[in-house]
Amino acid sequence: MQLKSFLRSSPSSSNYIRHFDIPDAETSEHVGGSMLPILLNNLQRDNDRDLVEVTLEMDNNSLVLCSVKPSPEHKIYRDDHHHFHQNQMTTREEMKSKLELVRNKSSAQRALGGLRFISKTTGESDINDDLWGKVETRFNDLAKDGLLAREDFGECIGMEDSKEFAVGIFDALVRRRRQKMAKISIAELHEFWLQISDQSFHARLQIFFDMADSNGDGRITKEEVQELIMLSASANKLSKLKESAAEYASLIMEELDPDGLGYIELWQLETLLLQRDNYMSYSRPLSTMSVDWSPNLGTSKANNIVKKASSALKCIVLENWQRGWILLLWLSAMIGLFTWKFMEYRQMEAFQVMGYCLATAKGAAETLKFNMALILLPVCRNILTRLRSTRARILIPFDDNINFHKIIAHAIAVGIIVHAANHLACDFPHLVNSSPEKFALVASDFDKLKPSYKSLLTGVEGITGISMVILMTIAFILATRRFRRSILKLPPPLNRLTGFNAFWYSHHLLALVYILLLLHGTFLFFVHKWYQKTTWMYISIPLILYIAERTLRTWRSEDHAVKILKVSVLPGDVFSLIMSKPAGFKYKSGQYIFLQCPTISSFEWHPFSITSAPGDDYLSVHIRIVGDWTKELKRVFTEDQSPACVVARAKFEEHENVDHRGLPQLLVDGPYGAPAQDYQKYDILLLVGLGIGATPFISILKDLLNNTRAHCNDSNTETSASDNSWTSFVSSTTASSVKKKSQRTRSAYFYWVTREPGSLEWFKGVMNEVAEMDHKGQIEMHNYLTSVYEEGDARSALITMVQALNHAKHGVDILSGTRVRTHFARPKWVEVFKRIAMKHPYSTVGKEFLQSQL
């Protein structure tokens, strides 16, 4: 019998056709593997010259039989009923044949990584030494009368956060012993430990199978599969998945039990795990762009340490040169001012009385005046937003304005300590205790009377200085991360000192500080001429700019009162506001606005990213409830079931006119610049969002798709325009050139990382709408759920398989309910960067990273 084989190989291998003869039955065991001759032997029984077509799939060391059918070149005529009974294998037999072909070392090794019960790095030495030692210690702490209870088994073996799943392992191991017991001794625990930490694939597979085989008959029914799915969902805290466990159990039975026998055996579960990579390859992301990515990643590694170091240094310089020269300039200015003032006072007669303490205090004071002026500029948001659109952005890192603001604040704190410490602990005592001869050098500054230490502190300079130190200390402490984010837990009523409100109001104490600073700089010792009193020179211009900034915000916010079109309460403690767009309000994707609700507070403004696109006729924001203000905002807009309130998923549009009577007023201030607004200067975008921090990217994705659609429409309009109309030609050409200029960005990769499954629900509408609008495959979206155990852990193995099967069959992810497949654990960023770089070797890739912050 002659066999013609068409082999479909991996990209690294070539396609070829090969003819060969099947040997006789008695010699067939040595050809083509253990199962292939047996499979083909049935095809040989009726006609020795039949020609069949066998489709095989090669992947590294794996050989998978895909199909066997008569060759179209030599059609075989036979009795169909007779051929069906004698020559056709059952589906179950074909699955067994496939299993034998793929059961080799490389496949088993890949599957081994998918059934880890203990640790990703567990090895034999770890089992015998460190890990077992820890287990034994926990046994001694948990055991009563030398016996460990069944419910404490998970905590004892290190699965305290998955106790229900650990109980399933315990029951499976107990059933192996043909016993019924709820407590085990240390010897039995050690035996169980050796089994679950066994590095053999078949040992792990057997435990996993026994967990589902609750009656120990060697067969798993649909109900038992459903129970194991629910157990895995419980271990990963996926309550929604438990509700659909029956549906997904049917999906697995349909895949593994095509003959409808009502059960699956160990080898069928092995088939599912060994062919996991095949299922995963069918379960592709939203866009088909990832199919073109090269599989040969990470093969080129620099062996030269010097080359690695130079490459790393180059990356550091390219990424930080803007910050570097700004910080260097700032440090140089401070050093210069300190040195200048230090040397000036060193030449004065007062130096003979107070020494270096006075010169040091005055040098620190000069840097304080400089920094107190400079610290206002990074928070002048309107000015920075304007400057972002100029060439100044090439040299100045406007995205780091808040970080620079914090750095200056730390420098002010150091300056205050140096200045105040030298005055209070050094030069004041020197002055008070100076001899009459030395005091005579500075007596004219004190009306010929030597001051006491108390009089120095109670004078204008002392009172203003001490008051400024107290006020700035309060503002500085309450602005620290532990206070601002309520990480520090204080008892009532001290708990009011933590949170955003305390930070916000305490910062307004600095207005009084600037008034005191002007007074403090006016009544100076040893300085009498007005032009030598330089405090007002430093702070006047920045202070005027900041006052103008705040005045503009107040005026604009009153003019930008908006109407609420829709309030959507979304899963995951998120709600969205869709508002009317004020007249003349223009913004870019990625920018943010400040919102104030006078019903809650007439002073508090809170920033939120704009999630609508610039071309929309409305404004929208998505707000996560993380504090008192956002909780109160949701309450005032959703209480009494206001006509604007709905319960829905996040979508771009679908708002409608509502009755605005009785709704609270909402004021808008902005827009303000943000790092993501410059996305159009890149060819390719890599957008990384953490949790609610991904909201600015909603606007960017929609704006990118809208621009593409407008660009296509303009191209069609230009083509259909009359050749005889010069006006039409000019306007079309101008519009087209503008679109081409703004359409540099060709595609985007969006990675959304969240730890809360509920977040996938509120983002579902956005992901689906992006998929519907993305006709050209510009957007590739990836979801990563970090609360689920990483792919490879036994607790998520079945969920991973259900996810891949459902996505391959229905094209829908089981967690997000969209076409975007959800991955487990965190992205492998090195691999992501390599893939994008290899796919777009001559493009400029822009990376934007945003996370939720307070």
Q: Which of 56-65, 258-267, 596-605, 724-733 has the lowest mean pLDDT?
A: 724-733
Split at pLDDT 50, 70, 90, the class of 317 is confident
Q: Between 116 and 285, whose confidence is greater?
A: 116
Q: Which of 120-134, 405-419, 605-619 has the lowest mean pLDDT?
A: 120-134
In this model, does residue 126 exceed pLDDT 70? no
Q: Which of 621-635, 710-724, 735-749 has the lowest mean pLDDT?
A: 710-724
DSSP per position, 219-276: -B-HHHHHHHHHHHHHHTT-HHHHHTHHHHHHHHHHHH-TT--S-B-HHHHHHHHHTH
Strand 645-647 and strand 564-570: the pairing is parallel
3-state secondary structure string across 132-178:
HHHHHHHHHHHCECCEEEHHHHHHHCCCHHHHHHHHHHHHHHHHHCC
For 510-558, what is each residue's pLDDT tens digit?
A: 999 999 999 998 888 888 888 888 899 999 999 999 999 888 888 887 7
What integer pLDDT is reported at residue 420 of this predicted model?
Answer: 93
Q: Between 546 and 708, whose confidence is greater?
A: 546
Longest distance between any two alpha carbons in the chain, whole Å? 131
What integer pLDDT is reported at residue 757 of this predicted model?
Answer: 77
Phi, psi for 647 (deg, rounded to 5): -110, 115
Q: Which of 59-68, 194-203, 525-534 has the lowest mean pLDDT?
A: 59-68
Among left, alpha and beta (phi > 0; psi -120 to 50; other), residue 15 is: beta
What integer pLDDT is reported at residue 35 of this predicted model?
Answer: 39
In this model, does residue 365 exceed pLDDT 60? yes
Please give the Cα distance from 355 to 334 (Å, whole number).
22
| Residue the block writes with tokens 């140089």 | 332
What integer pLDDT is reported at residue 99 of this predicted model?
Answer: 57
Q: Which of 269-278, 418-427, 631-640, 792-801 has the lowest mean pLDDT?
A: 269-278
What integer pLDDT is reported at residue 743 of this predicted model?
Answer: 58
Closest CA to 649 of 571, 573, 702, 578: 571
Please give the Cα distance from 643 to 566 (Å, whole number).
8
Single-letter amino acid code for the residue at 136: E
According to the per-residue pLDDT averaged within each range, which of 389-403, 695-709, 746-760 is highest? 389-403
> What is the CA angle 356-358-362, rounded to 5?
115
User: Could you give the 3-state DSSP secondary structure of residue 126?
Assistant: helix
What is the 8-class DSSP label of residue 116? B
What integer pLDDT is reported at residue 847 of this predicted model?
Answer: 67
For 490-509, what is each residue's pLDDT tens digit?
A: 888 888 888 888 888 899 99
In this model, does residue 804 exceed pLDDT 90? no
Instruction: Give the up-direction half-sphere exposure of residue 703: CA atoms within 13 A in the CB hemisphere.
Output: 27
According to the per-residue pLDDT averaged within each range, which of 305-319, 373-387, 763-777 is highest? 373-387
Please give the Cα distance from 56 to 49 (Å, whole number).
21
Strand 561-562 and strand 183-184: the pairing is unpaired
Please give the Cα distance from 344 to 359 (Å, whole number).
8
Residue 542: enclosing H or E segment and its boundaries? helix 535-559
What integer pLDDT is reported at residue 177 of this predicted model?
Answer: 82
For 258-304, what is each residue's pLDDT tens digit?
A: 778 888 888 877 777 766 555 555 444 443 333 344 344 444 444 57
Please give the Cα distance from 292 to 600 (Å, whole number).
53
What integer pLDDT is reported at residue 34 of this predicted model?
Answer: 36
What integer pLDDT is reported at residue 289 of this predicted model?
Answer: 39
Please give the Cα distance from 759 to 508 (Å, whole number).
35
Joined tokens for residue 343: 């040397």
- In the predicted model, what is the mean pLDDT of the chain? 75
Please give the Cα distance from 763 to 756 (Å, whole number).
12
Residue 547: enclosing H or E segment and its boundaries? helix 535-559
Joined tokens for residue 281: 């390859």
What is the 8-class DSSP label of residue 445? G
For 132-145, what is each residue's pLDDT tens digit?
A: 888 888 888 888 88
In percent, the amount of the chain with pLDDT more than 70 equals 73
Split at pLDDT 50, 70, 90, the class of 649 is very low
Please give the Cα distance from 749 to 610 (Å, whole number).
20
In percent, the amount of the chain with pLDDT more than 90 equals 14
Q: Are 753 and 690 in contact (CB under 8 A)?
A: yes
Mean pLDDT to the nearest integer, 117-125 = 49
For 327-364, what is each residue's pLDDT tens digit?
A: 999 999 999 999 999 999 999 888 888 889 999 999 99
Joined tokens for residue 219: 């067969």
User: Could you give the 3-state DSSP secondary structure of residue 783?
Assistant: strand
Joined tokens for residue 193: 């430990």
Number of H helices and number of E strands within the chain? 35, 19
What integer pLDDT is reported at residue 524 of this predicted model?
Answer: 85
Instruction: Give the up-direction half-sphere exposure of residue 526: CA atoms within 13 A in the CB hemisphere.
Output: 17
Closest CA to 566 of 502, 514, 509, 616: 616
Q: Are 139 and 156 in contact (CB under 8 A)?
A: yes
Please give the Cα distance from 589 to 676 (Å, whole number).
7
User: Could you give the 3-state DSSP secondary structure of residue 345?
Assistant: helix
What integer pLDDT is reported at residue 623 of this predicted model?
Answer: 87
pTM here is 0.65
Phi, psi for 824 (deg, rounded to 5): -105, 150
Single-letter amino acid code for the residue at 534: T
What integer pLDDT is reported at residue 31 of this predicted model?
Answer: 36
In this model, does residue 794 exceed pLDDT 60? yes
> Which is it for the CA torsion 89, 90, 92, 98, positive or negative?
positive
Split at pLDDT 50, 70, 90, the class of 129 is low
Single-letter amino acid code for the residue at 803: Q
Split at pLDDT 50, 70, 90, the class of 775 is confident
Joined tokens for residue 388: 């972002």
Instruction: Give the up-direction half-sphere exposure of residue 799: CA atoms within 13 A in the CB hemisphere.
Output: 30
Please give the Cα distance from 703 to 774 (Å, whole number).
12
Please give the Cα distance from 378 to 630 (Å, whole number).
26
Residue 708: enclosing H or E segment and its boundaries? helix 695-720
DSSP per position, 21-81: EPPPGGGGGGSSSSSHHHHHHGGGSS-TT--EEEEEEEETTEEEEEEEEE-TTS-----HH
User: Could you give the 3-state DSSP secondary structure of residue 669?
Assistant: strand
Please give the Cα distance from 607 to 182 (Å, whole number).
56
Work out the number of other CB atoms within 10 angstroms of the CB of residue 90: 10
| Residue the block writes with tokens 């990217």 | 697
In this model, does residue 180 exceed pLDDT 60? yes
Joined tokens for residue 403: 């970080």
What is the 8-class DSSP label of residue 633? H
User: Could you give the 3-state DSSP secondary structure of residue 477?
Assistant: helix
What integer pLDDT is reported at residue 664 of this predicted model?
Answer: 80
For the sheet containing 2-9, what is the strand order?
16-21, 2-9, 52-59, 62-70
According to the per-residue pLDDT averaged within each range, which of 19-33, 427-441, 833-847 is highest? 427-441
Across 526-605, the runs of DSSP E, i.e. the strands, are 561-562, 564-570, 574-580, 592-596
Joined tokens for residue 100: 């034998």
What integer pLDDT is reported at residue 745 of this predicted model?
Answer: 75
For 665-680, what is each residue's pLDDT tens digit?
A: 888 888 887 766 777 7
